[in-house]
């Protein structure tokens, strides 16, 4: 049961929709927060009847001066979902039409060069711990970012890993309830597994199995903010420019995929046999998600495009993608 308390005239409908979605297997955490903001907006209008008019929708859909295009689209999309639900259960609700916003420009994935990776990890290796605030940073960060790059894991999958999820004898991480609500095992390179054993012996001698492996301090997980701020500092020390839009931490996942496909292609591996392995490693639900990396690899390395075309002649040209789906 959600702890969020809805207070508008539609309080029960918000909660019922969230409960319905979760019963179907969706986490619906981000959406719950979005609905809470809509609920707060409806409260400010003093709405007494269960009827969402066009006027209410238009006011909600107006772009705010401080708002990015992406946030604007997401805010309208959340209201659209809720209004469609209301219509489906018999209430009167105006559904915001599609096409009333400018979609944010597609982000072009940054594929780190070998030199950038070298400089980045040299900067990470110089991490210094700060007593009381981040006492384990010098020990944790070099391993965290190397696993992130060499595994293709999503940032939150790795930062929220617990001790019980780390099988260091057999060298794998168990990702529990990842995207698409599936568990999967991620191999760890032998040298990194050894480094993880050092971390466990150094900072987890008294920890329970439920403790976060890459904790900031006992009982405190590494947050997205922690990862991002350290990442930006390492970029700066490595002399890698940041434009405000990228490179991003998530681009390590893109780089892992492109470099792995490049390696397999140049080694004349059978991609029909190897692509399912990549799909499992990344936690993709559909082949189209993984096919995005085929197209990206082909565009970045023209000399191997011909080899990719042999195995996937149509995918390279025809795959269409929403960058949000490949996270």
Tokens 């060069």, residue? Answer: 113
Question: Both 40 and 139 in a single domain?
Answer: no
The pLDDT tens digits of the residues spanning 205-234 come to 999 999 999 999 999 999 999 999 999 999
The pLDDT tens digits of the residues spanning 306-327 come to 766 666 655 444 444 444 434 4
- Identify the domain boundary among 238, 272, 302: 238
Distance of alpha carbon 226 from alpha carbon 134, whole angstroms:
10
Q: Does 5 map to a domain?
A: no
Q: Give me the phi and psi of 113, to 5 degrees please.
A: -75, 165
Say what the pTM is. Answer: 0.69
Q: Does 244 map to a domain?
A: no
Q: Does 61 map to a domain?
A: yes
Distance of alpha carbon 198 from alpha carbon 177, whole angstroms:
27
Q: Does 212 map to a domain?
A: yes
Question: Both 120 and 196 in a single domain?
Answer: yes
Q: Does 98 map to a domain?
A: no
The pLDDT tens digits of the residues spanning 70-79 come to 788 889 999 9
Distance of alpha carbon 71 from alpha carbon 30, whole angstroms:
12
How large is the C-alpha radius of gyration of the chain? 23
Question: Both 45 and 141 in a single domain?
Answer: no
The pLDDT tens digits of the residues spanning 11-42 come to 999 999 999 988 887 788 889 999 999 999 99
Q: Does 217 map to a domain?
A: yes
Distance of alpha carbon 176 from alpha carbon 162, whole angstroms:
10
Distance of alpha carbon 91 from alpha carbon 17, whole angstroms:
14
Residue 143's closest CA among 230, 60, 239?
230
Mean pLDDT of the region 121-135: 92
Question: Both 120 and 81 in a single domain?
Answer: no
Distance of alpha carbon 311 from alpha carbon 290, whole angstroms:
14
Longest Cα–Cα distance in the chain:
67
- Across the chain, the runs of DSSP E, i.e. the strands, are 51-52, 92-93, 166-167, 172-175, 184-187
Residue 38's closest CA among 68, 20, 21, 15?
15
Domain count, the chain: 3
Between 297 and 124, name the one with better pLDDT: 124
**pLDDT of the residue at 312:** 60
Contact 70, 87 (CB under 8 A): no
Residue 151's closest CA among 130, 133, 166?
166
Q: What is the DSSP string of 57-68?
A: HHHHHSPPTT--
Domain that includes residue 267, residue range = 251-326
Q: If residue 124 lies in a helix (H) or strand (E), which one and from where to where?
A: helix 114-124
| Residues ≥6 apart with Cβ < 8 Å to 255 | 110, 111, 112, 117, 149
**pLDDT of the residue at 318:** 44
Indicate which CATH number applies to the domain containing 164.
1.10.443.10
- Identify the domain boundary among 31, 58, 93: 93
**pLDDT of the residue at 319:** 41
The pLDDT tens digits of the residues spanning 63-115 come to 888 887 878 888 999 999 999 999 999 999 999 988 777 665 666 788 899 99
| Residues ≥6 apart with Cβ < 8 Å to 155 | 148, 224, 227, 249, 250
Say whether pLDDT at 48 is over 70: yes
Mean pLDDT of the region 44-49: 94
Two tokens, residue 83: 């209004």
Q: What is the mean pLDDT of the chain?
A: 86
- Identify the domain boundary among 209, 238, 267: 238
* Per-residue pLDDT band at 116 (split at 50, 70, 90): very high
**pLDDT of the residue at 82:** 95
Q: Does 139 map to a domain?
A: yes
Residue 296's closest CA among 267, 273, 265, 274?
265
Question: Both 65 and 157 in a single domain?
Answer: no
């Amino acid at each position: 049961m959600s702890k969020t308390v809805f207070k508008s005239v539609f309080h029960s409908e918000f909660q019922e929709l969230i409960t319905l979605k979760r019963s179907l297997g969706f986490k619906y955490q981000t959406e719950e927060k979005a609905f809470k903001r809509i609920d707060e907006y409806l409260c400010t209008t003093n709405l007494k009847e269960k009827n969402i008019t066009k006027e209410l929708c238009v006011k909600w859909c107006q772009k705010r001066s401080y708002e990015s295009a992406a946030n604007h689209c997401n805010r309208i999309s959340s209201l659209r979902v809720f209004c469609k639900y209301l219509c489906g259960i018999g209430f009167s609700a105006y559904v915001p039409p599609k096409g009333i916003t400018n979609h944010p420009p597609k982000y072009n994935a940054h594929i780190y060069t070998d030199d950038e990776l070298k400089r980045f990890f040299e900067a990470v290796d110089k991490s210094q711990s700060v007593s009381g605030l981040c006492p384990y940073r010098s020990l944790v960060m070099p391993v965290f970012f190397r696993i992130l790059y060499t595994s293709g894991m999503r940032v939150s999958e790795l930062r929220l890993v617990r001790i019980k999820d780390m099988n260091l004898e057999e060298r794998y991480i168990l990702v529990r309830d990842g995207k698409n609500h599936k568990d999967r095992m991620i191999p760890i390179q032998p040298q990194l597994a050894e480094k993880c054993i050092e971390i466990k012996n150094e900072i987890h001698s008294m920890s329970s199995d439920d403790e976060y492996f890459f904790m900031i301090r006992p009982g405190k997980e590494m947050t997205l903010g922690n990862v991002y701020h350290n990442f930006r500092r390492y970029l700066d020390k490595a002399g890698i420019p940041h434009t405000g839009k990228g490179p991003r931490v998530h681009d390590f996942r893109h780089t892992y995929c492109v470099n792995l496909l490049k390696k397999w292609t140049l080694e004349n591996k059978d991609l029909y046999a190897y692509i399912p392995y990549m799909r499992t490693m990344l936690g993709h639900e559909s082949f189209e998600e993984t096919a995005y990396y085929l197209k990206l690899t082909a565009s970045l390395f023209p000399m191997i495009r011909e080899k990719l075309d042999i195995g996937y002649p149509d995918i390279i040209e025809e795959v269409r993608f929403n960058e949000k789906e490949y996270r």
